Amino acid sequence: MSPIIAAPSSANSVNRRESHPHAGVVGRFAPSPTGALHTGSLVAAIGSYLMAKHAGGDWLLRLDDLDTRRQLPGMADDIMRTLELFGLHWDGEVSRQSRYLEEYGRAFAALQQQEVVYPCSCSRREIAGSASAPHHHDDGIPYPGTCRGGINDAAVVRSWRVRVPEEEICFVDFRKGHICQKLPDVSGDFALRRGDGEFAYQLAVVVDDFLTGVNQVVRGDDLLSSTPRQIYLQRLLGYPEPEYCHLPLVTGPDGMKLSKRDYLISHQLGSVAGRERAVLLAVLRFLGLNPPRDLDGAPCGALLEWGVAHFDPSHIPTRGGVILP
């Protein structure tokens, strides 16, 4: 099947495959500017950088700024300056989800044409209360398909959902190996768009990665369970599937996943001033790398260069844990 959306060809195109005809590895880091980076997001930034650069590829930066209600002013800038502080320089222009609304609309229309999308009038509370919901997952309760058969003309459309297949969606993760998931057990028919028109992360991320030529997605384990949903959309839209590597999660000393307020790594807050090297070393060790003593005192750029040369995804530990910056 040919891709539904033609990649942009204008002068300010962000399509990396177009500007890099060798079609090498294109990785990315895609933070949401809803808070400063924390040690967990820094692991995703550094892990995705090392893996792309180790393969001789490009590393892109995308700001996932679709959810305007949760954004904090100045955060996008803070994230970019913090990355630079660590010597993490991205290739090409920074892309922003907010610039791609038209492309999301075209992908959504293409899915509607395939008759896999339907309007849903269920509220969160109704879904939470649905007696037939079989399991609870980190992703919430799988949508039980209440509106699959159609909704009342007078009903308020709260979201637009895509029908998911019964068959398993499988893929190979660089660190975790062969992964299969039955979407009805985890998400059920998931939302692509809210009733007010806002596009959902699952659709946006798939379109973004395609448009920017991303073919290697390295990110935290917390997004592992979303990947089969994204692969399903890629298959429907005829997009190529990127390779995936999900990294272990950084936790607090209590073993819990970090929140937006924990262990912030921020240029604005001056939270790493003068300690960038120590933090970078801690992250490299977390990713299974052990820089030699003769790099003691080396600047971040030199440490990263060493990391790029020695990165090996098979050395990434299976378990996450604490990084105290």
Interface ranges with ligand GLU (CB under 6 A): 30-32, 64, 205, 219, 223
Residue 276 to residue 274: CA distance in whole angstroms: 6
Q: Select 111 or 205, whichever has its Cβ closest to ligand GLU.
A: 205
Distance in Å, CB of 225 to ligand GLU, minimum? 12
Q: Which of 216, 185, 166 has the alpha carbon at shortest distance from 26?
A: 216
Residue 135 to residue 141: CA distance in whole angstroms: 7
Q: Select 107 or 205, whichever has its Cβ closest to ligand GLU.
A: 205
Q: Select 79 or 236, whichever has its Cβ closest to ligand GLU.
A: 79
Q: Select 85 or 223, whichever has its Cβ closest to ligand GLU.
A: 223
Distance in Å, CB of 95 to ligand GLU, minimum? 12
Residue 116 to residue 148: CA distance in whole angstroms: 10
Distance in Å, CB of 162 to ligand GLU, minimum? 18
In the block, which residue shows the tokens 């913090």?
A: 82
Distance in Å, CB of 12 to ligand GLU, minimum? 23
Neighbours of 92 (CB within 10 A): 18
Q: Say which residues have a Cβ less than 8 Å from residue 19's Cβ, sequence separation at least 6.
A: 13, 92
Distance in Å, CB of 288 to ligand GLU, minimum? 20
Q: Select 163 or 257, whichever has its Cβ closest to ligand GLU.
A: 257
Cα dist from 232 to 183, 213, 227, 239, 269, whole Å: 9, 18, 9, 10, 40
Q: Select 36 or 122, whichever has its Cβ closest to ligand GLU.
A: 36
Residue 32 to residue 44: CA distance in whole angstroms: 12
Q: Which of 201, 205, 185 has the alpha carbon at shortest distance from 193?
A: 201
Q: Select 53 or 277, whichever has its Cβ closest to ligand GLU.
A: 53
Q: Select 64 or 276, whichever has its Cβ closest to ligand GLU.
A: 64
Residue showing the smallest CB distance to ligand GLU in the complex: 64
Q: Select 66 or 281, whichever has its Cβ closest to ligand GLU.
A: 66
Distance in Å, CB of 305 to ligand GLU, minimum? 24
Tell me the one-letter amino acid at 223: L
Distance in Å, CB of 175 to ligand GLU, minimum? 15
Beta partners for residue 243, in sequence order: 216
Q: Is the dihedral of CA 225, 227, 233, 236 positive or negative?
A: negative
Distance in Å, CB of 226 to ligand GLU, minimum? 7
Tell me the one-letter amino acid at 132: S
The two structure tokens encoding residue 285: 């060790």
Distance in Å, CB of 8 to ligand GLU, minimum? 20
The two structure tokens encoding residue 7: 């990649």
By the 8 A CB rule, do 60 and 92 touch?
A: yes
By the 8 A CB rule, do 281 and 310 touch?
A: no
Residue 116 to residue 26: CA distance in whole angstroms: 30
